[in-house]
Amino acid sequence: MTDAPNRPSTERTLDRQNRLREALRENLKRRKSQSRGRADQPALVSADDPGVVQDEIGKDSDDKS
User: Tens digits of per-residue pLDDT, 14-28?
Assistant: 999 999 999 999 999
Cα–Cα distance measured from residue 26 to residue 52, given in angstroms and rounded to the nearest whole number: 35
Q: What is the pLDDT of residue 8?
A: 80
Write down the mean pLDDT value for the chain. Answer: 77
Q: Name the percent of the chain lying above pLDDT 70.
A: 57
Q: What is the pTM of this model?
A: 0.47
Q: In which band, very low, low, confident or very high, does the pLDDT at 4 lie, cut at 50, 70 and 90?
A: low
CA angle 57, 59, 61 (to 5 degrees): 125
Confidence bin at 44 (pLDDT 50/70/90): low
